[in-house]
A = this chain, B = another copy of it.
Amino acid sequence: MPYTTQQKVALTRVLQRAERPLTPMEICRAGKKEIPRLGIATVYRALKQLVEEGGCGSWRSREPRRTTNQRERQHHHFFFCRHCRHVYNLVGCVHGVGGLAPAGFAVEGHEIVLYGECAECGGKTQGVVA
């Protein structure tokens, strides 16, 4: 039942065009080029909707969070359940991750986050998927 409004269309377009994660503020600013009266609240509301629907692009908050970089304490990554919003630890790691960086870039650490639904929520949500 969500309506397809001009705002959402414009914001989706902005997100798809971006080739890096934008902050809500940046998204709003970009959206105003199409819809001058676009409010920041609408951006937040739209983003939330988009996530819940599992669609669209990516964005970031003002700062990159999750400043991970364990001094090789115990290397592990995380799984974020979209449903219960819990963070689970993962064991293991994949190789060659550092190779993604361009030449000249010093990779000091990395982080992998998986998104989806945890085993517990898997059952509850059946049928709720769009």
Contact = CB atoms under 8 A, between A and B. Distances in A.
Contacts of A79: 100-102, 105, 107
- Give the oligomeric copy count: 2
A60 B90 CA distance: 16
Given A21-B66, A66-B65, A111 B113 contact: yes
Interface stretch (A1-9, A28-36, A37-45, A114-122): A114-122
B116 A105 contact: yes
A112 B112 contact: yes
Nearest to A83: B106
12 contacts: A19-B89, A56-B69, A58-B69, A58-B111, A63-B85, A64-B80, A64-B87, A64-B113, A69-B115, A94-B95, A94-B96, A106-B116
Q: Which 7 A-B pairs have the closest CB atoms?
A: A104-B119, A58-B68, A108-B116, A65-B65, A107-B116, A109-B115, A106-B117
